[in-house]
Amino acid sequence: MTTISTTTTTTKKVRLGAVGLWILQLFLAAEFVMAGVMKLAGNALMVEMFAELGAGQWLRFLVGALEVAGAIGVLIPRLTGLAALGLALLMGGAVITTLFVLGGSPAVPLGIMVIAGLVAWFRRSSTRALIARFAGEAR
């Protein structure tokens, strides 16, 4: 008596672009968690920087909370595109603030804004699906 056993193995082709996007998303998450926690924890440099802005420390808490929320959002597939878009807009504000209020070089916030913008662009289908879902539920 002969028993023949067959096993089917399914392999999933991993695309280089998908891996690259996840690397960028992990970078954004790490960057914004660190920056947001520094603001929320009251790091002396952050307190001083927001005092120099003249808007009050409430803005430091708001920006810190938005950064941490965005960092979490870029790791959730349904929210990735929208979170990255929000982070890009937040960095746009940082670029403008750096140029016109703080007087420093906007290179770092500009670079991070570009990365967040790239992630938002390449994950735009998830943003469209999320908007369509909420628009359909609102009717």
* Type of residue numbered 114: V
Taking the C-alpha atoms of residue 36 and residue 1, their distance in angstroms, rounded to an integer, is 67
Return the CA Rg of the chain.
Answer: 20
With both helix axes pointing from N to C terminus, report the angle between 57-73 and 44-53 in degrees, rounded to the nearest 10.
120
Q: Name the token pair of 122.
A: 């390449």
Give the tens place of pLDDT for each residue, 77-117.
999 999 999 999 999 999 999 999 999 999 999 999 999 99
pLDDT in the model for residue 1 = 61
Q: Which residues of 25-56 are buried (b: 16+ CB within 10 A; e: fewer)?
A: beebbebbbebbebbbeeeeebeebbeeeeee
Give the tens place of pLDDT for each residue, 37-85.
999 999 999 999 999 999 889 999 999 999 999 999 999 999 999 999 9
pLDDT greater than 80 at residue 13: no
Domains of the chain: which residue ranges? 16-138
